[in-house]
A and B are shown apart, each in its own frame.
Chain A
């Protein structure tokens, strides 16, 4: 059992977790000064932040994807870099390159923009696949290897990428491997009329981002991430996660189901979600809530399902909703081990 040693490190779980919620609340408030009425998207973003994941924001242009990414980045006192993915972007522009230093007569590594705590990748699917692929290693392994030399990335490390739906012009679909590395995908959606009015009022004249100041720092985030790791996940919930992920693989409309990495991301985000809720243990509700953001973008629906013209995002969301409706929270007959196997 992983959870126990962690639990013992808690001075006072309730206090600690209360602190986490308090910090998260500050970040949320900070982001909300920029983005109105998108509580759920912000919550997911916070969850991804606390679970050491990477966030993919996908939506049509102009609904505030970049705004959310930047607001979140600015709320944390950490190194933030931004990469504009353009069709002519090269891998070296992302990871950094070795340049020949005349003075030392040697090659010298110039770190790219990924050497930061928060990397905002804008319009990530407008770049060539080779440029996108530059992110693969750093996202999963938190390191960059250039010319045979591996450079560690400092924690915390989070990639927040935005992209337009594939149906938009000039976009290329993210390769499956790349999609799989994003912990969660959210979409912004259009604001409600009231929120849009408020936005016109407040944002009409000045850039709201300038008002965003850091409310926490990288060290704090590292501590909170460690705290999240200690959130208790009962065997039932683990079983439930496995069942859910397995169901995506068995679903008749799905040609590529969720990967084991997806299960890993799901359990991490569920922990963070529980912690945000000031709970020291994970409920199936946490899993259910994170299932669609975490799993939907990894599924590949059968081509004939997509022939109807329904956007892939919606198809996958529907499939997942269907799975969530069917997979039992507690396995029938599997009883409930009341005291966990210990």
Chain B
């Protein structure tokens, strides 16, 4: 039993292990892994069951697809199905909608992708079909090595999308599964030859138990492959890599990347902290501008309770800045700024410093792309080092009145900016209530938070700042009250988010110090982080809770620092006015799921929570497209050889293809055949032989070839036919002997096998005789048999040959990938068929008057050899 099910087991394990390649595409585990496991198991089980029941291939296929339907229904549209299992029309439409959703998710979402119901459908479909294919190849067709190809497709998808590849673990698992397939292949290959033979020392080990010993060779092979695998995984770690992700990173100054984001290997906030804490002062930028502003790099939106991190940046080629920048959608008054930025070689980042939301950019070389929601210009290929460009940017600059009257719902796609972890310190809520006491509008509340943080309670202290450990935020707010921009910005963002208002942490630089030549010099000391709050009809607005010791961080004009900094309005900081209004969702409080998801429906609560930013579609879309869309052409391509073969056969056997067939074809007897048809029949026979793996060499004459086919038939136990070689005796044993049933005997479908073989042998003999006459006899003696007879002989012969082609897998293989099409050069067509469509009454070739057979209106003489 074990041996019998080994291929099935290997298939299952290989598919499951290979699915790990998908892990880095998705955020979270359980929501996609469980469906994948279920899909693999159902696919394997259905296929195995139909095999055990010895169902025909088509029935097996139907069962497998039914399993797919049930699986998808169960996993994705249970509510719509009968008994939760049986799909209904409603299920179909639901699934169709889900698939459409999934497809659009694919085009919009960045990796890692959060839980989306539509994606689950696509994942289940893809994995199930892949598993079916692998199962078919490995178990049915007995070609385990080829089974690696569909699995490779899974890898190719992930590897093509993820910049860091599938990762060492997934690679290792996939490699292990392929090694398992290879071992299986080796075992099957040995099995095809017979039983493995044990040496004398091993023989004792298993004796007659029938269980072969684990061959030493296999153990060695396993060892070698595992060693190769270890080397393959570990060696690259020690080598410098192009993206700096190796253990030896060329980006030593900014820390090793471990971020989950696809575009950045550096955690920006860590980078800010490092730059601020660096011992040396390093000039990073020179900015020539009339309007010094904060230089923004990017904004951090994901919050894990301690640290703000970057959401994945994704941009398509369409988002290249060289193609022009979109007009930012800002309400209220705005202010523009232009600057000429020269970046030093020491500033080796992925993001471009921009004074606001970029609207125009010039002089930039390389593949820079704009990510719309965060206004980030980034490149994964080029670094900022040494770049020089002119940029124009716009920032919202509302009045206080505008902000006070700002009112509206938070759009669903900003829900990510209100997310908070569930385990926040309870004191935060109390603090927030205290702070916002008396404030009625959103703006007032936000302003109150800023004022509190800028207040005398807190001290800007670079040295004593808490690090990013657990509870650091609470410690900063309630105990130490000491920190730098990172703590201030994070604290404010968290507090604002607790109000249900979208907020995020922007990072970048404060304007820097003006130099004698008028430019502003920005060093690592100017690295900064500040909160951005979203106001309806205004957009993202920067605030400044940090009160830097050097006074570089003044509060914006729309949120002037109250008592402490009356001159704030002059400040070059983020410039906007303030005009708060109560937001309908403000009261929602700290529960993130109760966030402003007015639009969120029950079934799509995730949609609101993770609502993506539009137009970020980048690498991700390929995987499902590859899996699903490419499946069609691939299947078609796979079917092509079989179809070509079928077409050839049809063409050759088509009645009336040769003029001689003509009118006589219908009645059969009495018609004169055509030489071309004999050649066609012979070619068909050769192709059948090739498909079945019977080698007929070019050096074989017709009767030798037929002798080979006959001995192929003889492999079956039938009376009276030993393997023959044409040269053994003047007559071919496959030829009809006079006392055997004549060719005109009807072929009964359920004739005893031995009779069928005898008839097939006669048919083969007649075909060979006809072919050698057609080829070698003088035209007068060629006398091809009537077309109907030829066709019948070909059918008898090829049907019988096919019927004994032993394993079913081999037979399917021969049908799908006929060797005659794949390996044998197509023989030149015997001759054009000029009058194929026009049946003629007359024999095509003028018959020589001396032709001895002319008077013979019946069947032409059989091959002379058969008369002996």
Contact B864 A277 (CB under 8 A): yes
Q: Report how far A202 CA is from B773 CA in the complex, Å.
A: 44
Looking at B12-20, B424-432, B530-538, B695-703, the stretch in contact with chain A turns out to be: B695-703
Collect the chain A residues with CB atoms within 8 Å of residue B800's CB. none
Q: Residues of B contacting A280 with CB < 8 Å?
A: 777-778, 781, 864
Q: Is the CB of A338 within 8 A of B868?
A: no
Binary per-residue interface labels of chain B (771-783) against chain A in the complex, 1 for a CB within 8 Å, 0 otherwise:
0111111111100
B698 lies within 8 A of A7 (CB): no
**Residues of chain A lying within 8 A (CB to CB) of residue B780:** 7
CB distance from A17 to the nearest CB of B (A): 8
Contact B868 A278 (CB under 8 A): yes
Known A285-B701, A289-B727, A325-B697; judge A335-B828 contact (CB<8 A): yes
Query: How many angstroms from the CA of A13 to the CA of B727 in the assembled complex?
Result: 25
In chain B, residues 843-867, which have Cβ atoms closer than 8 Å to a Cβ of chain A? 845, 850, 852, 861, 864-865, 867
List CB contacts (< 8 Å) of B810-868 with chain A.
825, 828, 830-831, 845, 850, 852, 861, 864-865, 867-868
A248, chain B: closest CB distance, angstroms: 14
- Neighbouring B residues of A311 by C-beta, 8 Å: none
Q: How far is the CA of A212 from the CA of B679 in the complex (A)?
A: 48
Cα separation A285 to B729 with both chains bound (whole Å): 11
CB under 8 Å from chain B, chain A span 203-230: none
Docked-complex contact A277 and B781, CB < 8 angstroms: no
What total count of A-B pairs have CB within 8 Å? 93
Closest Cβ of chain B to A336, distance in Å, is 6
Is A281 part of the contact surface with B, judged by Cβ < 8 Å?
Answer: yes
Q: CB-CB < 8 A to B830: which residues of A?
A: 336, 338
Complex Cα spacing A333 to B726, Å: 25
Closest beta carbon of chain A to B239's beta carbon, Å = 49
Residues facing A in B670-685 (CB within 8 A) are 675-676, 679
B828 touches A277 (CB 8 A): no
Give the chain B neighbours of A288 by CB distance below 8 A. Answer: 701, 704, 727
| Contact pick for A329, options B679, B701, B867, CB 8 Å | B701
With an 8 A cutoff between CB atoms, is B749 at the interface? no
CB nearest to A13 among chain B residues: B852
> Which of B675, B679, B825, B852: most chain A CB closer than 10 A?
B852
Expressed in whole angstroms, the minimum distance between the Cβ of B653 and any Cβ of chain A is 19
**Contact B867 A278, beta carbon cutoff 8 Å:** yes
Q: Given the complex, which residues of A lie within 8 Å of B773, measured CB to CB?
A: 281
Instruction: Name the residue of chain A whose CB is nearest to the CB of B704.
Output: A285
A16 to B861, CA, bound (A): 16
Residues of A in contact (CB 8 Å), total 39
Contact B699 A338, beta carbon cutoff 8 Å:
no
- Bound complex: CA A8 to CA B851 (Å): 10
B850 to A, closest residue via Cβ: A8
Determine if A264 is an interface residue (Cβ-Cβ < 8 Å): no
- Residues of A close to B191: CB separation below 8 A: none
Contact A336 B679, beta carbon cutoff 8 Å: yes
B633 at the interface (CB under 8 A from A): no
- Contact code string A311-342 (vs B, CB < 8 Å = 1, else 0): 00000000000001111111011011011100
In the complex, what distance in Å separates the CA atom of A103 from the CA atom of B704?
Answer: 67
Contact A279 B865 (CB under 8 A): yes
Q: Is the CB of B850 within 8 A of A281?
A: no
**Looking across the interface, which residue of chain B has its beta carbon closest to that of A323?**
B699
Q: Which residues of A contact B828 (CB under 8 A)?
A: 333, 335
Distance (whole angstroms) from the CB of B782 to the closest CB of chain A: 9
Residues of A within 8 A of B852 (CB): 12-14
Which residues of chain B have C-beta atoms less than 8 A from A78's C-beta?
A: none
Task: Mark interface residues in A223-253 (1 if CB within 8 Å of B CB, else 0).
Answer: 0000000001010110000000000000000
Contacts of A7-49 to chain B: CB distance below 8 A = 7-8, 12-14, 17, 21
Task: Determine whether B730 belongs to the interface, using a CB cutoff of 8 Å to chain A.
Answer: yes
Q: A8-B850, A285-B727, A332-B698 are in contact. Are A236 and B775 (CB under 8 A)?
A: yes
Most chain A CB neighbours (cut-off 10 Å) among B773, B830, B864 = B864
A277 surroundings in chain B (CB, below 8 A): 730, 864-865, 868
Contact A281 B781 (CB under 8 A): yes
Residue A301, interface by CB 8 Å: no
Question: 13 other contacts beyond A232-B778, A332-B698, with CB at 8 A cut-off?
Answer: A3-B778, A7-B778, A7-B780, A8-B850, A234-B776, A237-B776, A277-B865, A281-B781, A285-B704, A289-B727, A329-B701, A338-B675, A338-B679
Q: Chain B interface (Cβ within 8 Å of chain A)?
A: 675-676, 679, 697-704, 726-727, 730, 772-781, 825, 828, 830-831, 845, 850, 852, 861, 864-865, 867-868
